[in-house]
């Protein structure tokens, strides 16, 4: 079982993925967490990624794919929710190839749809709660613009392949989780 969660920054992917992963007893694979863990543990991929991060560069897609592969053949071998990966259609195509090599496939894709004002408000609230100075309204709106340009095309990519489920990501955490579990249960042929 491999689920992919899509949505703009602030859509609640991480929160919802954590809850669903706990409920299903599968791993929540966040590429940000994978990067931090690989760097902290000094793995080969972590050292390579750290060199890019130290220069302020983006970590190349092949290194991220390697970390995802390690997760899917290790802690997430029994199933997972991918959160934060893929981020663009090139990464999605690479993921498809890797999954084919592993004899695995994507179970479903959930896109959390949330209005821009709600996204900005959520991130502003998170910034205040976590004392994050980098989450100003201006930087949030810029991240949303980057999302629309680079990541949003994934929705069309997966819609064209089938299996994409769009879910209203507004409401309480429990309301959104209930919508997600309804979709997961329908795909799995029973209650999630």
Q: For 50-102, write each residue's pLDDT tens digit.
A: 887 777 667 888 888 888 998 999 888 999 999 989 988 999 999 999 999 99
Q: Is pLDDT at 16 greater than 70 in this prediction?
A: yes
Chain centroid, CA 126 distance in Å: 18
CATH of region 2-188 = 3.40.50.300
Q: What average pLDDT score do residues 10-38 get?
A: 91
Residue pair 120/141 in contact (Cβ under 8 Å)? The answer is yes
Strand ordering across the sheet containing 108-113 = 27-30, 80-83, 2-7, 108-113, 164-168
What local confidence, expressed as pLDDT, does residue 96 receive? 94
What local confidence, expressed as pLDDT, does residue 110 receive? 95
Q: What average pLDDT score do residues 18-31 get?
A: 94
Pairing of strands 2-7, 80-83: parallel
User: Can you say whether residue 71 is alpha, beta or left, with left for phi > 0 and alpha for psi between -120 and 50 degrees?
Assistant: alpha
Outline where 110-152 has alpha helix (H).
Answer: 116-130, 137-146
pLDDT band, very low/low/confident/very high, at 125 (cuts 50, 70, 90): confident
**Residues annotated as catalytic (active site), given as ranges:** 13, 87, 126, 132, 143
- Sign (positive or negative) of CA dihedral 149, 18, 140, 117: positive
Q: For 35-63, write each residue's pLDDT tens digit.
A: 888 888 888 888 888 887 777 667 888 88
Q: Is pLDDT at 170 greater than 80 in this prediction?
A: yes
Q: Is pLDDT at 177 greater than 90 in this prediction?
A: yes
Strands (E), 13-169: 27-30, 80-83, 108-113, 164-168
Q: Which residues touch 28 (CB under 8 Å, ≥6 apart)?
A: 14, 17, 18, 20, 21, 80, 81, 83
Domain boundaries, the chain: 2-188
Q: What average pLDDT score do residues 164-176 get?
A: 95
Give, as one character, the DSSP assignment of residue 166: E
Listed ranges 135-139, 152-156, 169-173; the one with the highest mean pLDDT: 169-173
Q: Which of 61, 167, 56 is nearest to 112 (CA)?
A: 167
Mean pLDDT of the chain: 87
Strands (E), the chain: 2-7, 27-30, 80-83, 108-113, 164-168
> Which backbone phi and psi does 59 adopt, to 5 degrees?
-75, 130
């Amino acid at each position: 079982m491999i689920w992919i969660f899509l949505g703009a920054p602030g859509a609640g992917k991480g929160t919802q993925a954590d809850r669903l992963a706990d409920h299903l007893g599968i791993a929540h694979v966040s590429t940000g967490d994978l990067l931090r863990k690989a760097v902290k543990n000094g793995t080969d991929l972590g050292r390579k990624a750290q060199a890019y991060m130290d220069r302020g560069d983006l970590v190349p897609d092949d290194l991220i794919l390697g970390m995802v592969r390690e997760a899917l053949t290790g802690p997430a071998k029994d199933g997972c929710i991918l959160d934060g990966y893929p981020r663009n259609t090139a990464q999605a195509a690479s993921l498809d190839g890797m999954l084919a090599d592993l004899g695995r496939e994507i179970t479903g894709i959930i896109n959390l749809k949330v209005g821009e004002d709600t996204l900005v408000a959520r991130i502003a609230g998170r910034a205040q709660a976590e004392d994050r100075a980098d989450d100003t309204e201006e930087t949030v709106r810029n991240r949303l613009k980057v999302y629309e340009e680079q990541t949003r095309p994934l929705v069309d990519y997966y819609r064209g392949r089938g299996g994409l489920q769009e879910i209203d990501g507004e409401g309480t955490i429990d309301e959104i989780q209930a919508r997600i579990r309804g979709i997961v249960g329908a795909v799995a042929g029973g209650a999630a």
